[in-house]
Amino acid sequence: MTSTATAHPNIALAKYWGKRNDALIIPATGSLSLTLDVFPTTTSVTLSDEGADAVRLDGVLLTGDESNRVRTVLDRIRELSGRTGHARVESANTVPTAAGLASSAAAFAALATAAADAFGLDADDRMLSRIARRGSGSACRSVFPGVARWNAGIDDESSYAEPLSWNGPPLAMVVGIVSSQRKAVSSRTAMRRTVETSPYFPAWVTSSAALLDQMSDAVAAGDFATVGELTEQSALRMHASMFGAVPPVRYLSAASLALFDAVVTLRSAGIDAYATADAGPNVKVLCRSDQASHVVDALTATIPDAEYVVAHAGPGSHIVTGKGA
């Protein structure tokens, strides 16, 4: 019997950057995100009689760190379910892998959801969020639809995401793809380097905690402009913390900064748009759904070389075929 699950990437509005516990992936700060309706990952898990887990991504057998991360999630599910067998995992991405478009968030949310079903683990969404977190921190947020907040917590039990309701104007995220190349430094390595060497990291942690509280209040109030302003602040402060690392980590390219500038110009023309960027040069622009096509037209006119994809709030991870379908 094969269990198949789908999950979508999420983009953090209030960023996660830095861990307080590397092994359990407990973050230094909480974060808040929007799960998208584009670039899904579909993952199938089949219990097998073989002597080891086998993991394929887009048909290619994974080895090393990537397969170890999958095994970490499977081990946790074996531990929780009391079952000992191995699994065959096949995953298909529709997003350029490792280009700062949150492919690992969708991948590990789909994996946790499919594997829990395959191993017969009766897991609610909070447990799935905690399991997905073990593979990739941001994956704990992709278990949930729309807006979700990851409560940093202090241990495995207390570190999970939960859905927040959003009653403001329907949201869109215009993804501006300036590069689909694999990033030179993984976010995991870059995060660790920032924690260990950036003099700005402590300021990032204290300011992020305050920003997350403000953003949570703005989400509860449906206050789009405040959510947007805080989104841009969080992204720039996160990148500033990386600029301070030794050696520095710089994911933003000239094309990324040109997009940030174009968004400032859009705002001065009265369009509520706010830029954010993750561990890569691509820029995501938060705006109202009913203004998304206008935002794409304006960005295309200024930066025609980028490719633009309009995303809206998407679903949480869910079983497509399997016991829980």
Residues of this chain that interact with ligand 2P0 (CB under 6 A) are 12, 15-17, 25, 31, 104, 136-138, 187-188, 191, 278-279
**Distance of alpha carbon 42 from its chain centroid, rounded?**
16
Do the beta carbons of residue 156 and residue 24 sit within 8 Å?
yes
Q: Which tokens sit at 40?
A: 């899904």
Find the shortest distance in angstroms from Cβ 107 to ligand 2P0: 9
Q: Which is nearer to ligand 2P0, 3 or 31 (CB)?
A: 31
Residue with tokens 């973050």: 27
Find the shortest distance in angstroms from Cβ 118 to ligand 2P0: 22
Q: Which is nearer to ligand 2P0, 200 or 320 (CB)?
A: 200
Find the shortest distance in angstroms from Cβ 150 to ligand 2P0: 8
Alpha carbons 205 and 177: distance in angstroms, whole number: 29
Alpha carbons 249 and 241: distance in angstroms, whole number: 9
Find the shortest distance in angstroms from Cβ 108 to ligand 2P0: 8
Residue with tokens 């830095």: 18
Shortest Cβ contact with ligand 2P0: which residue? 137
Q: Which is nearer to ligand 2P0, 147 or 298 (CB)?
A: 147
Find the shortest distance in angstroms from Cβ 276 to ligand 2P0: 9
Neighbours of 34 (CB within 10 A): 27
Do the beta carbons of residue 209 and residue 172 sit within 8 Å?
no
Q: Which is nearer to ligand 2P0, 43 or 104 (CB)?
A: 104
Q: Which is nearer to ligand 2P0, 89 or 298 (CB)?
A: 89
Find the shortest distance in angstroms from Cβ 30 to ligand 2P0: 10
Coil, strand or helix at 277: strand
Find the shortest distance in angstroms from Cβ 286 to ligand 2P0: 14
Q: For residue 28, give the nearest of 163, 194, 145, 184 by alpha carbon.
A: 194
Question: 125 vs 103, 112, 163, 314, CA distance in Å?
Answer: 20, 10, 10, 16
Q: Which is nearer to ligand 2P0, 17 or 274 (CB)?
A: 17
Q: Which is nearer to ligand 2P0, 316 or 322 (CB)?
A: 316
Q: Where are the beta strands (DSSP E) in 178-228?
A: none
